[in-house]
Amino acid sequence: MNDEEERRFREFVAARSPALMRTATLLTGGDTHAAEDLLQTALAKAAGRWGRLENPEAYLRQVLYRQQVSLWRLLRTRRETTVAELPDAAGREDTTGAAELRIQMRRALARLTARQRSMLVLRYFEDCPEGEVAELLGCSVGTVRSTTHRALAKLRKLVPELEPGVVSRSPEFGNSPAEAWK
> In this predicted structure, what is the pLDDT of residue 171?
41
Over the stretch 137-173, which tens digit does the pLDDT of each residue have?
A: 889 999 999 999 999 999 888 888 776 654 443 444 4
Over the stretch 46-95, which tens digit does the pLDDT of each residue have?
A: 998 988 888 998 899 889 888 888 877 766 665 566 777 766 655 556 66
Q: Is the distance from CB of 38 to CB of 21 less than 8 angstroms?
A: no
> In this predicted structure, what is the pLDDT of residue 29?
79
